[in-house]
Amino acid sequence: MLTYREALSAIFQRTDYERQEQPPYAERVWRLERTEELLGQFGNPHRAFRSVHIAGTKGKGSVTAMIESILRTAGYRTGMYTSPHLHTFRERIRVGGELIPEEDVSRLVESMIPILDARPEVTVFEIITALGMCYFAERQVDVGVFEVGMGGRLDATNVLRPMVSIITSISLDHMKVLGDTVEAIAREKAGIIKPGIPAVTSPQQPEAMRVIREATEQRKTPLKVVGRNWRWRFLDADLSGQRFHVYRDGHEDTPEYPVLSIPLLGEYQLENACTAVAAVEILREAGLFIEQEAVRRGLATVRWPGRLEILGQRPLVVTDGAHNPYSIEQLLSALRQYLEYRRLIVIFGASMTHTPERLLALLLPAADALHVTQSHHPKAAPIADLQAMARALGRQVSTAGTPLDALQEALAQAQQDDLILITGSLFVVAEAEEAWAAMHGLPPFPADPPRVYDVPAGKV
How much is the pLDDT for 31? 75
Please provide residue 200's backbone torsions phi and psi, each rounded to the nearest 5 degrees: -130, 140
Three-class SS string for the chain? Answer: CCCHHHHHHHHHCCCCCCCCCCCCCCCCCCCHHHHHHHHHHCCCHHHCCEEEEEECCECHHHHHHHHHHHHHHCCCCEEEECCCCCCCHHHHEEECCEECCHHHHHHHHHHHHHHHHCCCCCCHHHHHHHHHHHHHHHCCCCEEEEECCCCCCCCHHHHCCCCEEEECECCCCCHHHHCCCHHHHHHHHHHHCCCCCCEEECCCCHHHHHHHHHHHHHCCCCEEEECCCEEEEEEEEECCEEEEEEEECCCCCCCCEEEEEECCCCHHHHHHHHHHHHHHHHHHHCCCCCCHHHHHHHHHCCCCCCCCEEEECCCEEEEECCCCHHHHHHHHHHHHHHCCCCCEEEEECCEHHHCHHHHHHHHHHHCCEEEECCCCCCCECCHHHHHHHHHHCCCCCEECCCHHHHHHHHHHHCCCCCEEEEECCHHHHHHHHHHHHHHCCCCCCCCCCCCCCCCCCCCC
Pairing of strands 344-348, 419-423: parallel
Pairing of strands 78-81, 164-167: unpaired
Q: What is the largest CA-CA distance in the chain?
A: 63
Rounded Cα distance, 130 and 140, in Å: 15
Which domains, from first to last, does the chain contain? Answer: 4-300 (3.40.1190.10), 309-439 (3.90.190.20)
Residues 155 and 25: beta-carbon distance below 8 Å? no
Best CA proximity match to 174, nearest among 56, 12, 35, 53: 56
How much is the pLDDT for 19? 52
Torsion of CA 98, 268, 404, 4, to 10 degrees: 20
Rounded Cα distance, 378 and 227, in Å: 39
Pairing of strands 93-95, 78-81: antiparallel
pLDDT tens-place values along the chain, 460 residues long: 899 999 999 999 876 555 555 555 555 555 788 999 999 999 999 999 999 999 999 999 999 999 999 999 999 999 999 999 999 999 999 999 999 999 999 999 999 999 999 998 899 999 999 999 999 999 999 999 999 998 899 999 999 999 999 999 998 765 556 666 889 999 999 999 999 999 999 999 999 999 999 999 999 999 999 999 999 999 999 999 999 999 999 999 999 999 999 999 999 999 999 999 999 999 999 999 999 999 999 999 999 999 999 999 999 999 999 988 989 999 999 999 999 999 999 999 998 877 899 999 999 999 999 999 999 988 899 999 999 999 999 999 999 999 999 999 999 999 999 999 999 999 999 999 999 999 999 999 999 998 888 745 443 3
Cβ-based neighbour number of residue 457 at 10 Å: 8
Residues 307 and 320: beta-carbon distance below 8 Å? yes
Residues 119 and 110: beta-carbon distance below 8 Å? no
